[in-house]
Amino acid sequence: MTETLPRFEDILEIVSGYNPECDEDLLRRAYVYSAMAHRGQVRVSGEPYLVHPLEVARILAEMHLDDLTIATGFLHDLLEDTWVSEEELEEQFGEHITGLVKALTKITTMEQSYAARAAAQAENVRRMLLASIADVRVILIKLADRLHNMRTLGYLHEEARRRIAAETMEIYAPIAHRLGMGRVKAELEDLALLHQHPEEYRRLTEQMRQREAMAAALIAEIRSMITKLLEENSISAEVRGRIKHLHSIWTKLRRQGIGLERVYDFLAFRLIVGTVPHCYGALGLIHQLWRPVPGRIKDYLAMPKPNAYQSLHTSVIGPEGQPFEVQIRTKDMDEIAERGIAAHWLYKEGKEPGQDAERVSWLRGLVEGHQENPRDFLNSLKLNLYPEEVYTFTPKGEVFAFARGATPIDFAYRVHTEVGQHCVGARINGKLMPLRTALANGDIVEILTSPNQVPSRDWLEIAVTARAQNKIRAWLNRGEKEQAVETGRKLLERECRKIGVSLKQLREEERLAQIAAEHGYGKEEDLLAAVGFGRISLRDLLAPLVRTRPVTPVPSPKDRAAAVPEGSVITVKGQRDLLTYRAQCCNPLPGDEIVGYITRGKGVAVHAANCPNVRKLLFTAEREVEVEWGGVTGAFSVPLHVSFEDRPGMLAAISQEANGENANIRSCHLATHEGQLGTADLVVDVNGRDHLEKLLVVLRRLPGVTTVETSVTTQTRHLRVL
Ligand code: MN
């Protein structure tokens, strides 16, 4: 497929269509900056990488979102996939956009084990949801990102396609659904179906195409009948006839175990009318014309779905005996049904785009207080994302919708946390019932409380909603948490000692608070508890500290051996776009045998194969990757430690020899010691292993020189074990 590069001007046109006062300058700057940072990068499809952020921005523009969100769409992959740093981004675009981009930057794990990948996936989802509570734009951008990735999924290999499609079905489509974004949800589901069941997808599409052709006349006929009927009764309406989306038909075939030829209600009509009374009026007229199917009339006007969806639904038996579905709603309701939370972002005169309190609190319920392991988190998330709903009432007639299987405990926590904590029983439809009774549609529930009651562990088995589960768990964990903090502190102290860092100092330098924040914890205490509960691995936690400590004392801090000038000098086999840098403990040079180790967030550290550090402590076999020298050009800085007899002209002699070998001296630090001994700490540029060896030979031969050492060789005394 050759997707042409979307034009910035087209996106701008969409935006100014709904928001004439948009900040064109901001959008253009974001676009240009993204183009610059992604320059030279290529997607798996072979297209320029820039296609992706442009398409994501376009999807966001089609959702009619605000400037800030669209600008972030252009920039959303910068921190993850380019050299742009947080500081630079903040300087260019400010705190707000940088915050959004940070929230969208995944933790990645190169670990191959399923458990490690699953844990990283859970953590990514958890962080994204947390960030979305603060600003729902995070999840809107993530959905746009996922949508474009799903549209271009075909270029990946099969295993990745299946994994991403499954994740889309389990997490992102349900989230889109719960946020009321019907259009995005439908497209995600259809694309997931294509990659999860390609054969069936193709067969179904083909069959649908044939039936659509056959049904065209029927659709036209029913449409004109409805239009005429409504006109005669002075209800103006827009009538749309359509074939249902593929995934919903497929689900139906699966559920009923039938073939497509036996599915009749793949036709659906939508009536968009002016007012609520017209909705009911139209429903009555439809029922006069065609007989309704019993049990299929649904009034989501009086009782909106939890995602705020409102519509009247009915199924009727059509002119030739085939059933079809009719949905009736107002224009506003249709807007909400198709675009959900994004509809709230529409610019109203002079108003800031608003949050949607109801849906945000639902998001909060999904993530708050989760103390268990990542797999449990994902399972409970999935359960809460795809509920079949039951509608229940308080004695005062307030409606609460729950996932099927919800019990009076869920109901009690829904009323109020305090009611939940103290509930002892429930009266359902006037009868006293046990707490584990599953609530049914239409139940009127009254909760009985006692001040002496407290939550118990078996409540976790009885409650099904994330909200109740989290509250119960939080209560039960209060005592356990104190213990976990203590355990976490001890573990952290021990681990810090191992790598020669003081916990006290970390705290004073506020590094600990920073690490806590990076892992999504607001307080140091929560971080320690997480360590104590075993939810974060200490290795991951401390990796950045190890990385930033200088491992080798190098001559001059200013001029220490620099990173490889170009990322392309060393490449990781099979993965050209990973960042690499030369480890400072051994400074490998072209010609050396090298191995790569994946560090957290900084790319791949390249060590000499015989560097003793590579086998130590933090490095584990899963992190090792094969690397190779690419087309090498340029100079590599190498520290040299030269000892010599202290006599005049030594430095001149040394620098002359270096010049003679074409090795540029970048810095030099001289010292004299007792016993007529002098030392020089130099940083010289060489172009590879052979060049260095030659230089060493020449310098060692120089009269007066006693030793020449470099951390680049393996026998160096500079090496300190981590
Ligand atoms: Mn992306």
- The string of DSSP codes covering 236-256 is -EEEEEEEPPHHHHHHHHHHH
Judgement on whether residues 158 and 187 belong to the same structural domain of the protein: yes
Phi and psi at 580, nearest 5°, equal -130, 155
Give the Å distance between the CA of 604 and the centre of ligand 1: 21
Q: What is the DSSP letter of 325?
A: E
Dump pLDDT digits (tens) for 51-81: 999 999 999 999 989 999 999 999 999 998 8
Yes or no: say if 66 and 353 are a contact pair by the CB < 8 Å rule.
yes
Is 410 part of the annotated catalytic residue set? no
Q: What is the helix (H) or strand (E) element at residue 641, kind and residue range?
A: strand 636-645
Give the Å distance between the CA of 352 and the centre of ligand 1: 26
Give the Å distance between the CA of 146 and the centre of ligand 1: 7
Is pLDDT at 622 greater than 80 in this prediction? no
Give the Å distance between the CA of 152 and the centre of ligand 1: 12
Judgement on whether residues 171 and 46 belong to the same structural domain of the protein: yes
13, HSE (Cβ side, Cα atoms, 13 Å) = 5
Is pLDDT at 89 greater than 90 in this prediction? yes
pLDDT of residue 720: 32
Give the total number of structural domains in the chain: 5
Give the Å distance between the CA of 478 and the centre of ligand 1: 39
Give the Å distance between the CA of 619 and the centre of ligand 1: 29
CA 340 – CA 447 distance, rounded (Å): 33
Is pLDDT at 15 greater than 60 in this prediction? yes
Q: How confident is the model at residue 562 (pLDDT cuts 50, 70, 90)?
A: very low
CA 360 – CA 647 distance, rounded (Å): 76
- Least confident piece of the model among 148-157, 407-416, 562-571: 562-571
Whether 370 is covered by a domain: the verdict is: no
User: Which two three-digit tokens encode residue 65?
Assistant: 């979102």
Burial class (CB in 10 A: 0-12, 13-18, 19+), 280: middle
Whether 350 is covered by a domain: the verdict is: no
Judgement on whether residues 133 and 191 belong to the same structural domain of the protein: yes
Judgement on whether residues 454 and 464 belong to the same structural domain of the protein: yes
State the DSSP string of 14-29: HHHHH-TT--HHHHHH
655: domain range? 636-718
Give the Å distance between the CA of 80 and the centre of ligand 1: 9
- Least confident piece of the model among 275-289, 340-354, 646-660: 340-354
Could you tell me the pTM of the whole model? 0.56
Give the Å distance between the CA of 75 and the centre of ligand 1: 9
pLDDT of residue 327: 95
pLDDT of residue 347: 43
Burial class (CB in 10 A: 0-12, 13-18, 19+), 288: exposed
Whether 369 is covered by a domain: the verdict is: no
> Which one from 23, 47, 62, 80 is the annotated catalytic residue?
80
Is 80 part of the annotated catalytic residue set? yes
Judgement on whether residues 527 and 598 belong to the same structural domain of the protein: no
Select from 215, 216, 217, 190 the least CA-distant residue to 204. Answer: 190
46 Ramachandran zone, left/alpha/beta (phi>0; psi -120 to 50): left
CA 242 – CA 200 distance, rounded (Å): 21
Give the Å distance between the CA of 58 and the centre of ligand 1: 13
Q: How confident is the model at residue 557 (pLDDT cuts 50, 70, 90)?
A: very low
Dump pLDDT digits (tens) for 372-405: 566 667 766 766 666 667 778 888 877 788 877 8
Q: Which of 510, 526, 552 is the last residue of a domain?
A: 552
> Which one from 62, 81, 111, 693 is the annotated catalytic residue?
81
CATH label of the domain that carries residue 693: 3.30.70.260
Dump pLDDT digits (tens) for 478-520: 767 777 787 788 888 888 887 777 788 888 877 888 888 777 7
Whether 354 is covered by a domain: the verdict is: no
Average pLDDT value for residue range 690-697: 86
Dump pLDDT digits (tens) for 187-207: 999 999 999 888 888 988 888
Q: Tell the residue number behind the tokens 């075939």, with chain if given.
A: 253
Angstrom distances, CA of residue 718 to CA of 41, 533, 596, 612, 685: 38, 39, 21, 12, 19
Whether 375 is covered by a domain: the verdict is: no
Q: What is the helix (H) or strand (E) element at residue 403, kind and residue range?
A: strand 399-403
Phi and psi at 305, nearest 5°, equal -70, 160
User: In terms of pLDDT, which residue wins out, 533 or 467?
Assistant: 467
Judgement on whether residues 231 and 336 belong to the same structural domain of the protein: yes
Judgement on whether residues 138 and 279 belong to the same structural domain of the protein: no
Judgement on whether residues 485 and 402 belong to the same structural domain of the protein: yes
CA 406 – CA 168 distance, rounded (Å): 26
Q: How confident is the model at residue 112 (pLDDT cuts 50, 70, 90)?
A: low
Q: Which of 172, 197, 222 is the last residue of a domain?
A: 197
Mean residue pLDDT of the chain comes to 80
Judgement on whether residues 117 and 213 belong to the same structural domain of the protein: no
Whether 631 is covered by a domain: the verdict is: no
Q: How confident is the model at residue 619 (pLDDT cuts 50, 70, 90)?
A: very low
CATH label of the domain that carries residue 486: 3.10.20.30
Judgement on whether residues 319 and 454 belong to the same structural domain of the protein: no
Residue count of the chain, please give it.
Answer: 722
CATH label of the domain that carries residue 297: 3.30.460.10
Q: How confident is the model at residue 370 (pLDDT cuts 50, 70, 90)?
A: low
Judgement on whether residues 336 and 479 belong to the same structural domain of the protein: no
Highest mean pLDDT among 171-185, 335-349, 386-400, 490-504: 171-185
Dump pLDDT digits (tens) for 271-292: 999 999 999 999 999 999 999 9
Yes or no: say if 388 and 404 are a contact pair by the CB < 8 Å rule.
yes
Judgement on whether residues 117 and 255 belong to the same structural domain of the protein: no
Average pLDDT value for residue range 78-89: 90
Report the 10 Å Cβ neighbour count for 255.
8
Q: Which of 173, 197, 221 is the last residue of a domain?
A: 197
Give the Å distance between the CA of 50 and the centre of ligand 1: 10
Yes or no: say if 242 and 299 are a contact pair by the CB < 8 Å rule.
no
Give the Å distance between the CA of 77 and the centre of ligand 1: 5
Give the Å distance between the CA of 452 and the centre of ligand 1: 52
Q: How confident is the model at residue 613 (pLDDT cuts 50, 70, 90)?
A: low
Q: 625 pairs with which residues across the strands?
A: 596
User: Which two three-digit tokens encode residue 309?
Assistant: 């969806």
Give the Å distance between the CA of 71 and the centre of ligand 1: 13
CATH label of the domain that carries residue 115: 1.10.3210.10
In angstroms, how far is the first alpha carbon of the chain from the final one?
Answer: 50
